[in-house]
Amino acid sequence: MILIYILVILAIIAGSFWLFDSILAEQNNVVFYWSGHVLELSVANMVALLLVGFLAFYLTLRLLKHLLSMARYAKNYRKQKMCNRTRNDLMQGLVSLIEGNWGNAEKQLLANAEHSETPVLHYLGAARAAHLQEAYELRDQYLKQAIEAKKTVNGAEIAIAISQAEMQLYSEQLEQARAGLITLLEEHPKHLYAKKLLAKSYYKQEDWKNLSSMLPELNKQEILNTKDLAHYETASLKGVFQMYANEDSLSKLKLEWKKLPNTTRNKPYAILLYCKALVAAGDNSTANKLMVTSLNKQWDDQLAQQYGLSHHDNLNQAIKHAEKWLPEHDKSPEFLLSLARLYSKNKLWGKARHFFDSSLNLAPNSEGYLEFAELLEKIGEKENAELCYKVGLEYCINKKGQPLTLNNRNETNRLSTAELEVLQPPISDYSIDVMDDYSNESYSDKSATVINNPRVDVIQPLDAHI
């Protein structure tokens, strides 16, 4: 193709040389007759005159074209000037939005939005500014204008849907946000952030079944961080288990447990939630067996505490299981409290008294104080019971523990000989240190540490801002 162009150009040049050579070689003049006038020119002069005339004609046409296009040039100039102004408004508006000057941001973004090359960005920014000022009606109006202008930006419908869902979730318009996100994911099923927002909407609506069904995908695609994923897993499991337990649907509860992946079923918090649901549904036997199996494999203080709260048909057998764990976990306040409860249920008052005392001196517990005080009243130690009530009440109010230094058992002589036998300290090959020698100050420091320790209550309240 290039060769053809070269040949054509060479031919034109050669022809031009031949033509001019022929003209210049011709010595005859050219004579023009017009209305009695005679004009005689040489061939060379005629050619030069023709060239000058053609050039003048061409320049005249170009000048007329520019004169006729002045209006269009002026319009384009004004348009370009307006575009520059809208770009500046957009930049200034976004800066004001980031700085927190939401009123100024709204004005700047809307000033010349209709003249912008990307009006959708102006309206989305104005919607965000109105949302932050809690002007939700204006926000929805700007979002509607953004939808109408979305054709100017490729893929703007996704940005609009995401922005709308975010703001609706924040303003607790949960159903609208959920519907919009579901529609978005139907059209764009791989959009990760939309999945994250949909999971958040399920969480806020307490739709535990749908949230639970999303968790494997969220975990596989690493959409959530570890903390948020743990919150969602705990909430969804707890919600689903409680739902079936409240409906007395034990078979559905067990089926739901079997559906969970092994990695989830091996987690202590999942076992704890399931056991609590089984207990609520009345299946203490299955719960107790699962807790024993789990604690033998992997120790968890909260699960050990639940073991003491559960009902056991054979208390002696339950206590034997618990006593096997004692040598390795005699410093766990949750487990000692659990063991105290088991002894108390079996009316072994002396052992129950010892382990209540040991547990509460390791870490304060409001329910433990109450149960211990009731036990002390039952065995006739009224002064110690009053002290326990007092310390427990102070802990409930101030959230600061203090040592529980009980008086000697000066009331035991009022009990029968059979009752005195069970008041003796437990006979074992191990000893449990009781913090009677702790000062108030040191115990307060330790109790504060325990209170802030997440293992005291493994199921933490779920943050609403996830």
For 29-94, the DSSP string reads EEEEEETTEEEEEEHHHHHHHHHHHHHHHHHHHHHHHHHHTHHHHHHHHHHHHHHHHHHHHHHHHH
Are 318 and 464 in a shared domain?
Answer: yes
Task: Clarify whether residues 324 and 420 are in a common domain.
Answer: yes
User: What pLDDT score was predicted for residue 439?
Assistant: 31
Please report which confidence band the pLDDT of residue 35 belongs to, taking 50, 70 and 90 as the band edges.
confident
CA distance between the termini of the chain: 65
Cα dihedral value 414, 418, 422, 424, nearest 10: 60
Whether pLDDT at 167 is above 70:
yes
Copy the structure tokens of residue 104: 């100024």
C-beta of residue 192 within 8 angstroms of C-beta of residue 200: no
| Contacts with 360 (C-beta within 8 Å, 6 or more apart), sequence order | 333, 337, 368, 369, 372, 404
Q: Which pLDDT does position 81 carry in this prediction?
A: 79
Q: How many percent of the chain have pLDDT more than 90? A: 45
In the block, tokens 């105290």 appear at 340
Name which of 3-17, 184-198, 311-325, 417-431 the model is least confident about: 417-431
Which residue in this structure is represented by tokens 């989830």?
Answer: 264
Give the C-alpha distances (Å, rounded to integers) separating 69 from 57, 75, 78, 204: 19, 10, 14, 61
Q: Is the per-residue pLDDT at 413 higher than 90?
A: no
Please check whether residue 54 lies inside any domain of the structure: yes
CA distance 252 to 240: 10
Q: How much of the chain is helix, strand and coil, in % rounded to 5?
A: 75, 5, 25
Question: Does residue 133 surpass a pLDDT of 70?
Answer: yes
Confidence tier at 13 by pLDDT (50, 70, 90): low
Measured CA to CA, the distance from residue 314 to residue 321 in angstroms comes to: 11
Mean pLDDT of 374-389: 94
Question: Which among 245, 249, 251, 299 is positioned nearest to 271, based on CA atoms?
Answer: 299
- Structure confidence by residue, pLDDT tens digits, 84-118: 888 888 888 889 988 889 899 999 898 888 878 78
The reply to whether 195 falls in a domain is no
Average pLDDT over residues 365-384: 94
pLDDT greater than 70 at residue 269: yes
- CB-based burial label for 254 (10 Å; 0-12, 13-18, 19+): middle
Question: Do 275 and 385 have their domain in common?
Answer: no
Q: Is residue 360 part of a domain?
A: yes
The CB density around residue 191, as the number of other CB atoms within 10 Å, is 17
In this structure, what token pair is assigned to residue 266? 């091996």
Task: Provide the residue range defining the domain that includes 264.
Answer: 219-298
Q: What angle do CA 321, 323, 328 make, to 5 degrees?
A: 110
Q: Which of 138, 172, 187 is the last residue of a domain?
A: 187
Ranges 166-170, 292-296, 417-421, 437-441: which has the least confidence: 437-441
Residue 25 has pLDDT above 70, yes or no: no
Query: What is the Cα–Cα distance from 186 to 190, expressed in whole angstroms?
Result: 9
Residue 210 lies in a domain: no
> Lowest-confidence range among 127-131, 212-216, 336-340, 446-450?
446-450
The whole model's pTM is what?
0.64
**30: β partners:** 41
pLDDT at 67: 78
The CA distance from 326 to 192, in Å, is: 48
Q: What is the mean pLDDT of residues 338-361?
A: 95
- Categorize the per-residue pLDDT at 429 as very low, low, confident or very high, splitting at 50, 70 and 90: very low
Q: Does residue 206 belong to any structural domain of this protein?
A: no
Q: Do 43 and 173 have their domain in common?
A: no
- pLDDT higher than threshold 70 for residue 441: no
- Candidates 262, 267, 334, 327; CA nearest to 301 is 334
Select the more confidently predicted residue: 442 or 137: 137
Q: Rounded mean pLDDT of 352-364?
A: 95
Q: Which residue has the higher pLDDT, 87 or 338?
A: 338
Boundary-marking domain end, from 25, 41, 68: 68
Q: Does 454 share its domain with 362?
A: yes
Last residue of a domain, one of 167, 187, 207: 187
| Residue 108: CATH number of its domain | 1.25.40
Residue 245 lies inside a defined structural domain of this protein: yes
Contact predicate 269/458, CB 8 Å: yes
Range with the largest mean pLDDT of 82-86, 148-152, 249-253, 413-417: 249-253
To which residue do tokens 């909430």 refer? Answer: 235
Closest-CA residue to 125 (of 75, 133, 450): 133
The Cα–Cα gap between 227 and 216 comes to 15
Q: Which residues contact 284 (CB under 8 A, 6 or more apart)?
A: 278, 310, 311, 312, 313
Is the pLDDT higher at 105 or at 9?
Answer: 105
Residue 46 lies inside a defined structural domain of this protein: yes
Q: Return d(Cα 167, Cα 139) in angstroms, integer.
A: 9
Instruction: Check whether residue 46 and residue 95 sit in a common domain.
Output: no
326 touches 428 (CB < 8 A): yes
Helices and strands counted in the chain (H then E) = 23, 2
Q: Are residues 322 and 459 in the same domain?
A: yes
- Taking each helix axis from N to C end, the angle separating 301-309 and 284-297, rounded to the nearest 10 degrees, works out to 150
To the nearest whole number, what is the mean pLDDT of the chain?
Answer: 80
pLDDT higher than threshold 90 for residue 62? no
* 166 band by pLDDT with thresholds 50, 70 and 90: very high
466 and 321 share a domain?
yes
Beta-carbon count within 10 A of 318 CB: 22
Are 60 and 86 contained in the same domain?
no
Number of domains in the chain: 4
Rounded Cα distance between 65 and 62, Å, is 5
Question: Encoding tokens for residue 126?
Answer: 């104005």
In whole angstroms, give the CA distance from residue 364 to residue 160: 52
d(CA 287, CA 307): 9
Q: How confident is the model at residue 435 (pLDDT cuts 50, 70, 90)?
A: very low
Distance CA 401, CA 445 (A): 8
pLDDT level of residue 1 (50, 70, 90 thresholds) = low
Classify residue 142: in a domain, yes or no: yes
The answer, yes or no, to whether residue 194 has pLDDT greater than 90, is: yes
User: 359 pLDDT exceeds 60?
Assistant: yes
